Structure formats: C-alpha cells, structure tokens
C-alpha cells in the first residue's frame, strides 16, 4: 500500500475533491483526519465508509482561517494517530462578482480561507513534521487560476496565485527537513462548487468548449495525483505546480 502507516489531514475533506482525496488516501493505507466545517454528518458518514473497508479515519471540525482551530486540528490528529505525515490543503471557496462591485467582506473571506488557511495549516503541520524528524508532504489543491485569469473571480484568482508563491517559498525553506510542498491545479471538476454552472446548459456547453478533452474532471482523477505526490515515488518532487485540466490552459481559441 503506497501510503501504509502514514497519517494525513485533508481540510474540507468531507465534500467534492476533498472527499475523493480522503477516500483514495485511506484506500492507499493512510490514516485520515477529515477536517470539516459546518455540518458533521457528511464527515461522520465518510469515517464510517472508510471503516467499512477496513481503513482508519476520524473527523474534526476546524475553520482553516482560525489559528486556534488549526492548532487543535493538528494536536487532535497527533493525539489520535500518533503523528502527522501528510497535509492536504483542500478547503476553499469562491464567490463571483465583477471587480468594481466586489464587496470588501467577500474579498477578505476568500483570502482568509483560500490563502491564510493554507498558510496556517502548512505552518502548524510543518512545525509538527519538523519535530518528528521523518519528513512530510504538503499538497495544496490550488487551481488553473493560480495562473489563468477569471473575470468576476478576482479574489479567488488572487488567493490561488498567492498559494503558488507561498508553496514555492516554503518548499525551499522546508526542503532541509525532508518536507515536500506542491500544488495540484485542477481545471473544471465535477463537484458541488460547480453544481450551479452545470444547471445552466449554455454556460455548461461554453465551459466544455474550453476543454480539449471536452469534459469536467472526476474528483477521483485529482485524488489519484494527490496519492502519487504523497507517496515515496514522489520523494524528489517539490516546489512544483501540477496542472490537471484536460488541456484547458493550452486551448488555442482557434475553434
């Protein structure tokens, strides 16, 4: 099993891409701490699902933008599973408004969760990993929008662009400790985040026309890349962004 005996935290691990990562890492032998925010039922159901196939998992509620709650998440993981080897910074939100009308509170909320949350979880997890002296893995679920513009979604793009430079910089700082840090950058993934878009046939077709493979990604396809990056096979990979977008970023616009 590629992640046997490893302990992983997945933030926002109860929904969409996070849920798929949680399941794939558990199937690969890792013990999972599922961070959730809000309703506890989906996280508890996921723990049960993992235990049913013989895996190990627990759930803990923490807002990734709150330092005290992130401290508790890491402390609880160490108490429950005896250490921490893998952090997946998956929690994220978006809310679209034209830049000229974007309310300041929405801008700060998106930055707090998508960028400050990655900062906080990475710092607190890395402090634990350094103490353990056995290396570690930090994987951020970023987006093609760490590089690609998206009008009406400026705070989201700013947060993911920030995650890219945060990842590169801390990867260099953490390398002497054997901790690798990488970004996974999906294009369009079939999750609750994009559910509204799928309801609108015109917008959905317009989105598919932007994707050379002409479909959204399945969450599991993102999860499998994360399992690889968390495994020993990826020991030499750090400070990099992995685009997984069906070719979206290279679309020539010639059709």
What's the token pair of residue 83? 């250490």
The count of residues interacting with ligand NAD (CB under 6 A) is 27
158 lines the binding site for ligand NAD (CB under 6 A): no
210 lines the binding site for ligand NAD (CB under 6 A): no
The nearest distance, CB 159 to ligand NAD, in angstroms, is 8
156 noted as active-site residue: yes
16 lines the binding site for ligand NAD (CB under 6 A): yes
Q: Which is nearer to ligand NAD, 130 or 193 (CB)?
A: 193
Using CA atoms of 111, 217, 228, 159 in order, give the dihedral in degrees to the nearest 10.
-10
- Of the residues 36, 107, 156, 242, only one is catalytic, namely 156
Q: Nearest-5° angle of CA 41, CA 105, CA 200?
A: 60
- Let me know: does 149 contact 99? Beta carbons within 8 Å: no
Say which residues have a Cβ less than 8 Å from residue 25's Cβ, sequence separation at least 6. 3, 6, 8, 10, 32, 86, 88, 223, 226, 227, 230
155 lines the binding site for ligand NAD (CB under 6 A): no
82 lines the binding site for ligand NAD (CB under 6 A): no
11 lines the binding site for ligand NAD (CB under 6 A): yes
Binding residues among 177-206 for ligand NAD as defined by CB under 6 A: 186, 188-189, 191-194
Give whole-number Cα distances, 127 to 84, 89, 121, in Å: 10, 15, 10
15 lines the binding site for ligand NAD (CB under 6 A): yes
| From 46-54, 87-95, 122-130, 202-210, span contacting ligand NAD (CB under 6 A) | 87-95
14 lines the binding site for ligand NAD (CB under 6 A): yes
State the burial class of residue 16 (Cβ atoms within 10 Å of its Cβ: 0-12, 13-18, 19+). Answer: buried
For ligand NAD, the binding residues (CB under 6 A) are 11-12, 14-18, 35, 37-38, 63-65, 90-93, 113, 141, 143, 186, 188-189, 191-194
Task: Tell me the catalytic residues.
Answer: 156
């Amino acid at each position: 099993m590629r992640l046997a005996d490893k302990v992983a935290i997945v933030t926002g691990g109860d929904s969409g891409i996070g849920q798929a990562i949680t399941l794939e890492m558990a199937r690969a032998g890792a013990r999972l701490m599922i961070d959730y925010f809000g309703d506890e039922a989906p996280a508890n159901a996921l723990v049960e699902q993992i235990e049913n196939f013989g895996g190990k998992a627990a759930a803990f509620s923490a807002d990734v933008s709150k330092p005290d709650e992130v401290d508790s998440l890491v402390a609880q993981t160490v108490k429950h599973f005896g250490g921490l080897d893998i952090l997946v910074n998956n929690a994220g939100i978006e809310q679209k408004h034209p830049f000229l009308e974007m309310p300041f509170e929405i801008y700060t909320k998106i930055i707090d969760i998508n960028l400050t949350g990655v900062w906080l979880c990475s710092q607190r997890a890395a402090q634990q990993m350094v103490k353990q002296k056995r290396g570690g893995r930090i994987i951020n679920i970023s987006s093609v929008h760490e590089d690609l513009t998206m009008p009406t979604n400026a705070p989201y793009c700013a947060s993911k662009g920030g995650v890219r430079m945060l990842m590169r910089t801390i990867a260099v700082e953490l390398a002497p400790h054997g901790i690798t840090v990488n970004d996974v950058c999906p294009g369009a993934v079939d999750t609750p985040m994009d559910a509204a878009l799928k309801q609108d046939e015109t917008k959905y077709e317009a989105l598919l026309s932007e994707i050379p493979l002409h479909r959204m990604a399945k969450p599991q396809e993102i999860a499998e890349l994360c399992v690889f990056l968390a495994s020993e096979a990826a020991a030499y990979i750090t400070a990099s962004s992995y685009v997984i977008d069906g070719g979206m970023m290279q679309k020539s616009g010639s059709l």
